[in-house]
Amino acid sequence: MEKITPTSYTLECVATGREFEDEGWTLEDRSCKTPSLVRAKYAKKQIEVKSDEYGLYKFADWLPVKRMLSGSSAPVTYKSKGLAQHLGLENLWITFNGYYPAIGAHMTTCSFKETEAYSVCARAEENEERVLVVASAGNTARAFAKVCSDNNIKLLLSVPTDNLDALWFEKPLNPCVKLIACEKGGDYFDAIYLSTLALKSPMFYNEGGAKNVARRDGMSTTVLSAVTTIGQIPDYYFQAVGSGTGAIAAWEGNMRLKEDGRFGQNTMKLMVAQNAPFVPMFDAWRADSRKMLPYEDDKARRDAEIIDAKVLSNRRPPYGISGGLYDALKATNGEVFAVTNAQARKARRLFKETEGVDIYSAAGVALSALIKAVDDGKVEKDACIMLNITGGGEAHFKEGKDLWYLEPSLTFSLTPDETDVVEKVEALFKEE
C-alpha cells in the first residue's frame, strides 16, 4: 500500500465565493463580514476511490489531508433486504458506520464520528506541538480519543459529566489524551464553553467543529461510499441531526458528485430528524426561520436530559450560518422530522430484527423518520433511498470484552473561572 500524497485543494467562502489558500488550519475567511462556512475545492474533479486497505483514506482525493493515520475504516454501503421488505421499499440502501464485521464494517468506536476524527487529525501537521481541543457530547470524544491515542497526537477533550459513560475503550489510552468535564447537570453547550476557556492558552488549538472542512469532508465519505457503491446519487438522504454538520456534509458531497458527472445530476432531498422534545432546528425550520428561535437555557438542558439520543443535543448548531443546515435544506427541498424516544426505540428494535445488528439511538431517530416518511407517502416505493446509520454494533463489539473507561483529570463547575481553567489544563500537559 502506497502512502497518500497531501491532497491538493483551495478554500472557498460560501457567502462571498472568494477562493483562497489554506494556511494549514484555516476555519473561516477572515475578510468575510458575515458568518459563513468555508468549503474545500479539490483539484481532482473526478474521484478515484482507492482499495479498502486504505480505510477512510480510500476517499483521500476529496479529503483535506496531509498524511494517512493508522487504524481507519470507511463507511460500508449495502442494499437492504429485510428492512426494505418490511417497509415495502424496492431501492433502500444502508450506509453503516459502526462495527459489523459480517458486512465488512470495522469502526471500533461504533460511530461515524471516526470519519471526522481520521480526517481532522490527518489535516494537522505531523510535527504540530500544540494540543488539539475537542468538545463533545460523547461519540465524537470517543472517536478522537482513539485516533489520537493510536497515532500519538496530543488531545484535550471536554465532555459533560452526565455523558462520561460514552468514553469506553477496548484498552487503556495513550496518556497524550486528557479529559476535562463540566459538572453534573451540564450539557454539550457547557462542555463547549469549558473548551473555549482552555483555548485562551496558546498551548491549545481549536478543532473547529462544523467550521473545519476536514470534519465535514470526513463525514461526507458516507455519501461517497453510498454513491460509488450504488452507482448513482440517491433521491433521498435520511439522517438524525444534532448540529446538522453531517447533513451539510452530505449536501456538499452531493455537489461534488454532480460535478464529477458520472453519477447523475440529481440533488438528494435531505430528510433529517431530531429527538423530541429537544427539537430547536425542527422548530426553526417549521417557522421558516434562518435564525434559531429563543430556547431558554434551563429548558434546553432539561429537554436534553429527556432524550435518548444525547448526541443530538446541540443548542448552538451551524444552522443559520451561510452554507449551514438552513441553506442545505433550502437547496435540497429538504424536510425536518421530530421523533420521540418511544418511536426511536421501536425503530431500533426493527433494525435489529431485520438487519441483524444493534444501532444507536440517533440512528433509530433517522430510521423512525424514514418510517414516518413511508407512512405519509413522502417517498416513492421505487425511489433510491440512502439511510445513514451513524452508529451501530456497540453491543456486538462489547460482547465478551472487559472495557476501560477514560476518567476526567479535572471537573469544573458550570460557571468556571477562566484563569483557573487555563492554569489547570496547561499543567496537565506540562506534566508530560
**The pLDDT of residue 410 is above 70:** yes
- What's the confidence (pLDDT) of residue 274? 98
| Residue 373 to residue 281: CA distance in whole angstroms | 18
Model confidence, pTM: 0.96
**How many of the other CB atoms lie within 10 Å of CB of 263?**
17
| 250 close to 268: Cβ distance less than 8 angstroms | yes
| 316 close to 211: Cβ distance less than 8 angstroms | no
| Residue 410 to residue 430: CA distance in whole angstroms | 15
- What's the confidence (pLDDT) of residue 81? 98
**The pLDDT of residue 413 is above 90:** yes
Please confirm whether the linkage preceding 277 is cis (ω < 30° from 0): yes
Residue 337 class from Cβ within 10 Å (0-12 exposed, 13-18 middle, 19+ buried)? buried
- From the list 295, 306, 305, 318, the residue with the least C-alpha distance to 242 is 318
**The pLDDT of residue 2 is above 90:** no
Residue 431: pLDDT band by 50, 70, 90 thresholds? low
pLDDT tens for residues 54-83? 999 999 999 999 999 999 999 999 999 999
When mean pLDDT is compared across 175-189, 199-213, 330-344, the lowest value belongs to 175-189
Of 352 and 189, the one with more pLDDT: 352
**The pLDDT of residue 1 is above 90:** no
**The pLDDT of residue 45 is above 90:** yes
**The pLDDT of residue 138 is above 90:** no
Residue 359: pLDDT band by 50, 70, 90 thresholds? very high
Q: Which percentage of the chain shows pLDDT scores above 90?
A: 93
